[in-house]
A and B are shown apart, each in its own frame.
Chain A
């Protein structure tokens, strides 16, 4: 549904700018309502499943599955989506193409909902990629800005890499568990952890989660993604998309977390990210940068919790996901408001805004309180749970100390940057460097933020009532039966976690004071500034796509064709030998020898070898010799009971010869120079001869070995048995072409048509080389002195007359071949080539101009109608309820001619015929036309067009 709405919103572009916003808001609101109404059904720990079978054999289904965790995410996605749409309505400038913005936002909402509702893990991976793609488009929304494009590209590459890893991980999980259905995977218990493939799967899986959730060392893309419009940052990069990573960790937590490897990697990656993000956030001058690093830090916190592997930690993680989404989205909105009203996000330029926008300030301060973990706010509760978990006794001494100490340090830093945010922006003297006087934004722009802050307060003060049941549902869906007892109350008594919280508060304040005095103007972390992930990434990218790629090409690649073909042939030979050597067996001696065929092939073989030898300097001779080999092939076809093939081969041979003859004229003159062979050329030739002989031997051996064995039972019996009964024809080959394998033929004639059009297109812009631009020597010599007289005028007078008279005869033969094709050798292909030869004969006999004054040949139309007819025949069968290209047949009595077979296949064959005529004629004529065109040689300016020939040139 969001996708439909996405299209709708995009369609509204240019009409009312409010229209798209209205659609987006409406959809988000509706989805939110639906989600809320579904709560009673998921609150019992069950899951709603809706399944559409797609390829059940492969386990690929479209499954929507909503349980408590998915429900919680759906609420976050739709609710914050709704608020962001409302907010963006005021934030976006009317100059921006807002319809695109809302369309993308809706597309993202759809992708994200699809992700959390996926009941099939392949589907999950697909939606995962979709979120990356839409996120790319949203970050690059202002695509005229270079930094937005860079940020978008980086986000896409990093998260796309993760997506790839996820896909492989999902395939592995499916392989281990034996099903791609999430239900089955979640119920698989310890199967995954005990599998030998577990480490690989886990690492790929974590790679995906860490890149998406910007965990160390992949954190660098998130701050760069802040070039997106602020509503996008609020929605994607704080509340939803980056949560996809931790969602993934949570989703598979029950089946993957129970191992040392998980604990070590996830916990300490999370902890590193937590501290790094918090420290980096403190040293940011840009407010959005501060929030971005703070988001990284909080995601690190969630990851740490998920890494610890205890049920209570998982509860805390889920709780913190929700809390963080709420307060961070509101903070982003606050920053957006500040940016909107003051024109800057630089914390040094801002101060004392409390006086100008008291409401915004109040709400932002509360939200930052939640971020810092101040009591009576929602952030406090989950942070307290976090401290409790880190302080748990652990047998390993290192773990026992590193976790609580790291957590406390991170807590201090997060308090410090929260203070920096609040103090730097809202307190102090009034700002002096602003262009305008800030004031409160429109009430409706503030409303979304205010609502979120109220949620913060409500959850913080009365957690049991506001979030208790929802959290319980989510937690039960993840933990199932082992859900531990947990308490959501604000006051747990004076204990270690509370002490840690207090320490963090005081420590944060203590850190902030010297920071404020000394490091206020520093941008980015001191010391670590040189090792910026972004720069490393860009350098790596540049090297990989530019330098490395080029040297790799130089090392392994060649642009020359000959070595490439050599390697291909060599590999083919090696593959053939490897496959055939062992199965060769003992070859029997030949049983029979056919002297006639032997004689034919004596000639054929000599022709082939001579053609190979002559092709360099004597092109015409080589072509004639090739024709000799072709004729030998043709005779062999006839000899071996294949009359159709013999006919087709003969005709194709003629057409090819005419084509090559037409082309020969444009090739460079090449005279034999016998003494220019260097040693290197001799060596190369010797090498090629060697390879050629080997290939020839291999081919001969393989074919001999196969021919001397008896044939396996194939599908031929079927065709022989059914050609007459079902196809209504006795020429089995033709029945196969137009009936049984009609779809193949359809593809084939399409190829033929495409080739003809390509030939035509290439020749339209044909430029001959300079040395061929003149008319050929022979024509110049024979040309009479009379002006305008052509050599063809008096050339071959008598043959020309005969050829002219033959024209109707040849056409009659073609039609005869077409009609009898079903029962006797013939058919569309053969008839088509014969027909086109009839045309080309006229061209040869009387010259291009003479023919075109008398005949209107429209080969492109022939091609088009032929293809259309073939297709319509097939569709006609479909209209009657049979599969595509099914044929029907009957014998019809036609007066004077007698009984002829009338199958619908004949119509199809007629289409084939028309297309072959069109294609062959088009190719031949287009080439023939070059000789009367007098085109200018390559390199000269515009060719002069002749009147009346524009049709062909």
Chain B
């Protein structure tokens, strides 16, 4: 299971990095999204993988060892929302730049 997740993170990161090195703005946006998946999974993995643990507490006297680590989850939840905002902002900047420069190259001019 760890191997699968590690491979997944690697593939996502590699695809993302390749894309952000491309010259077209749309490619960069897709690349950033892929990288943020990789990073979110990586952060979640920092809490170690638990498949059988409950995320929701059962009353007041619960044993912490029976539950999944909530800290990475809270961090990732924040990261997902911010990632959404970032994508939206980049998309609009992309569109504005496209309108102003007439092309979709990241430097605003064709080489």
Residue of B nearest to A829 (CB): B81
**When the two chains form their complex, are residues B27 and A642 in contact, meaning their CB atoms are under 8 A apart?**
no
> How many angstroms between the C-alpha atoms of A633 and B77 in the bound complex?
13
Point out the residues of chain B lying under 8 angstroms from A731, CB to CB: 55-57
Chain-B contact segment, one of A75-83, A372-380, A607-615, A858-866: A607-615
Q: Which of A619, A704, A711, A829 contacts B3 (CB 8 A)?
A: A704
Interface size on A, residues (CB 8 A): 113
Which residues on the A side are within 8 Å of B41 (C-beta)? Answer: 633, 636, 703
Would you call A666 and B99 a contact (CB within 8 A)?
yes
**Which of A569, A725, A916 contacts B21, CB < 8 Å?**
A569
Please state if A717 and B81 are interface contacts (CB–CB under 8 Å). Answer: no
Interface of B (DSSP majority class): helix
Q: With A612-B18, A716-B47 known to touch, is A593 a contact of B95 (CB < 8 Å)?
A: no
Q: Which residues of A contact B107 (CB under 8 A)?
A: 559-562
**Which listed residue, B27, B31, B38, touches A699 by the CB 8 Å rule?**
B38
Tell me if A's interface is mostly helix, strand, loop or mixed.
helix
Interchain nearest-CB distance for A620 vs B (Å)? 11
**Residues of chain A lying within 8 A (CB to CB) of residue B88:** 656, 659, 755-756, 759, 923
- Report Cα–Cα, A649/B33, bound state, in Å: 12
Complex contact B17–A637 (CB within 8 A): no
Does A752 belong to the interface (CB within 8 Å)? yes
State the CA gap A562–B83 with chains docked (Å). Answer: 22
Quick check: B76 and A659 within 8 Å, CB to CB?
Answer: no
Q: Mark A698-719, 1 if CB is under 8 A from B, else 0.
A: 0111011011101100111101
Q: B81–A641 contact, CB under 8 A?
A: no
User: B80 contacts which chain A residues (CB < 8 A)?
Assistant: 645, 648-649, 652
Residues of the A chain whose Cβ atoms lie less than 8 Å from the Cβ of B7 = 601, 605, 700
The answer to whether B84 touches A652 (Cβ under 8 A) is: yes
Is A394's CB within 8 Å of the partner chain B?
no
Within 8 Å of chain B (Cβ to Cβ): is A200? no
CA separation between A704 and B49, bound complex, in Å? 11
In angstroms, Cα B99 to Cα A477, docked, is 71
Provide the residues of chain B in CB contact with A593, threshold 8 Å.
Answer: 1, 3-4
What is the distance, in angstroms, from A412's C-beta to the closest C-beta of chain B?
A: 68
For the complex, give the distance between the alpha carbons of A370 and B104 in Å. Answer: 76
Task: Provide the residues of chain A in CB contact with B22, threshold 8 Å.
Answer: 562, 615-616, 688
A769 touches B99 (CB 8 A): yes
Given contacts A608-B15, A696-B11, A708-B2, contact A645 B77 (CB under 8 A): yes
Q: B residues within 8 A CB of A598?
A: 4
CB within 8 A of B104: which of A668, A714, A721, A768? A668
Q: Which residues of A contact B46 (CB under 8 A)?
A: 706
Interface window among A154-162, A315-323, A447-455, A622-630:
A622-630
How far, in Å, is A660 (CB) from chain B's closest CB? Answer: 6
Determine the residue in chain A with the shortest Cβ distance to B93: A762
With contacts A561-B107, A766-B99 taken as known, whether A825 is within 8 angstroms of B55 at the C-beta atoms is yes
The smallest C-beta distance from B50 to any residue of chain A, in angstroms, reads 6
Q: Does A910 contact B (CB under 8 A)?
A: no
Which A residues touch B58, using CB under 8 A? 730
Which listed residue (B33, B55, B92) contacts A642, Cβ 8 A? B55
Q: Interface range on chain B: under 10, 10 to 19, 20 to 34, or 35 or more? A: 35 or more
A725 and B24 contact, CB distance less than 8 A:
no
Determine whether the beta carbon of A641 is less than 8 Å from that of B68: yes
| B55-78 to A contact mask, C-beta < 8 Å, 1/0 | 111111010100111110110111
Closest to B71 in A: A716
Interface centre among B27, B80, B103 (most CB of A within 10 A): B80
* Contact of B45 with A630 in the complex, beta carbons under 8 Å: no
Indicate if the CB atoms of B8 and A632 lie closer than 8 Å: yes
> Are B69 and A619 within 8 A (Cβ)?
no
Complex-state Cα separation, A699 to B89, whole angstroms:
27
Inter-subunit contact A730/B74 (CB<8 Å) = no
The listed residue (A611, A623, A766, A829) touching B95 by CB distance below 8 A is A766
**A163-171, A329-337, A352-360, A736-744 - the one binding chain B:** A736-744
- Determine the distance from Cα of A636 to Cα of B50 in the docked complex, in whole angstroms: 11
Q: Which residue of A lies closest to B26 (CB)?
A: A619
Q: Which of chain A's residues have a CB closer than 8 A to the CB of B13? A: 695-696, 699-700
User: Does A808 sit within 8 A of B, measured CB to CB?
Assistant: no
CA distance A695 to B39 in the complex (A): 12
What are 26 A-B pairs with beta-carbon distances under 8 A? A593-B3, A612-B34, A629-B34, A632-B8, A639-B51, A641-B68, A642-B68, A652-B80, A656-B87, A656-B88, A663-B94, A668-B104, A699-B13, A699-B14, A703-B10, A706-B46, A707-B5, A707-B48, A716-B64, A730-B58, A756-B85, A765-B96, A766-B96, A824-B56, A927-B92, A937-B99
Chain A interface (Cβ within 8 Å of chain B)? Answer: 559-562, 565-566, 569, 590-594, 597-598, 601, 604-605, 608-609, 611-612, 615-616, 619, 622-623, 626, 629-630, 632-633, 636-637, 639-645, 648-649, 652, 655-656, 659-660, 663, 666-668, 688-689, 691-693, 695-697, 699-701, 703-704, 706-708, 710-711, 714-717, 719-721, 723-725, 730-733, 736-737, 741, 744-745, 748, 751-752, 755-756, 758-759, 762-763, 765-770, 823-825, 829, 916, 919, 923, 927, 937-938
